[in-house]
Amino acid sequence: MKDIFPAALVKRIVKKTGTPVYIYSRHKILENLDAYKRSFSALKPLFCYAMKANSNGAVARLLAQNGAGADVVSGGELYRALRAGFDPRKIIFSGVGKTDGEMAAALRAGILFINVESFEELAALERVAARMKVKAEISVRINPDIDPHTHKFITTGKIGSKFGVAFKEARQLYAFARASRHLEPVGIHFHLGSQIDSPEPYAKALSVVAKFILLLRADGVTLKYLDIGGGWGVREGCDMLPPGILARTVGPLVRKLGLALILEPGRSLVAAAGALAVTTLYRKKSGPKNYVITDGAMNDLIRPAFYGAKHPVRPLVKRPGKARRYDIAGPVCESGDFLAQGVSLPMPSRGDILLILSAGAYGFSMSSQYNSRPRASEVLITGADSWRLIRERETTRDLTEKER
């Protein structure tokens, strides 16, 4: 397999940008999108990229230029999606807490539909649409009560979570929308969770949702779109799981329903395409533990601390000597500040670059300035030997920019 982060190129990048820096591969992102397209070629779905995974304009533009749509969850993401050039008719808006202003912006932009998640939200949307004298196209996010067997923080399709509505209530939402002059039900949606490693939860959800769609038809509600959300996983720290098995499982069920299919992949498109490059500052021991302290920290990549996520670590230079177990930790003043734990490496030298892999999704987008650390820069590798800066490193001045 081709190395998407060749050491010589990474060295040159880091020399220019410094660290910590997020490095993404254009080639890998497109390869992932192509894998989806090929696997689903019989169904020709709309792939609405979940912007939250990585909302950098260059990454978003790349996906927009290659036919993807966007799944947005805030006014900010809507702004970014429009700016990146996504066709508004390929944008959908999800999330449990849209404000009137955000809904109005979505209606003004003429997006494909808004995924509604509660009765009160539907009523609020109707008022906004009435004020604007337009008809809002909606889809209801179903909570199908299916366990996707993933981390509890990223499980969304189980009853008891804040997401979606149960079938009984959803039926009332569709009836309300159908009766309204300012609402038009066009789709149905579910999103089960994230980092799902088997097609089985999708199949289970689809079979109950299919029954519900038939019930809606009997109620006189005919829909155009079936949006099965995102969530398709990546192998621990590596490539996306082959989307073919997902396509083969959901294909027959979707075809039977005759609705246009929408998917909302985030992580699977960009995770493996990104790495966080950090520099080794110090080595130290604490009792039985060996630490490598780097200039990258939990504010740059919070996934290990927050979800216990395991990101493979690759030293750019292979040092001789026996491998030992290291915790890779940052300068942030928290014991939970680590990028990896117990990784086996020969001792890196001070100044050595480490690549924290599979960091293209929910890496930069979840980063913060905690401990008053300016956010990292971002780079896109565009060819065998070419790259460009797609976000400048923040400066210390940026930290106080908005303070009055």
Would you say 154 or 347 has its CB closer to ligand LLP?
154
Would you say 69 or 185 has its CB closer to ligand LLP?
69
Exactly one of 80, 90, 182, 191 binds ligand LLP (CB under 6 A); that residue is 191
Per CB under 6 A, 164 contacts ligand LLP: no
Per CB under 6 A, 231 contacts ligand LLP: yes
The dihedral sign for the CA sequence 273, 278, 279, 281? negative
- Considering only 129-137, 248-256, 266-274, 379-387, which stretch makes contact with ligand LLP by CB under 6 A? 266-274
Per CB under 6 A, 330 contacts ligand LLP: no
CB of 149 to ligand LLP, least distance (A): 14
CB of 319 to ligand LLP, least distance (A): 30
Binding mask 358-377 for ligand LLP (x = CB under 6 A): ----x---x-----------
Per CB under 6 A, 94 contacts ligand LLP: yes
Exactly one of 69, 237, 243, 266 binds ligand LLP (CB under 6 A); that residue is 266
Exactly one of 187, 229, 274, 360 binds ligand LLP (CB under 6 A); that residue is 229
Exactly one of 121, 264, 337, 378 binds ligand LLP (CB under 6 A); that residue is 264
- Considering only 7-15, 128-136, 262-270, 349-357, which stretch makes contact with ligand LLP by CB under 6 A? 262-270
Q: What residues numbered 42-71 form the site for ligand LLP, per CB under 6 A? A: 50, 53, 71
- The tokens for 18 are 């410094």
Exactly one of 155, 268, 280, 358 binds ligand LLP (CB under 6 A); that residue is 268
Which residue's CB comes closest to ligand LLP?
A: 266
Sites of contact with ligand LLP (CB under 6 A)? 50, 53, 71, 94, 154, 191, 194-195, 229-232, 264-268, 303, 307, 362, 366
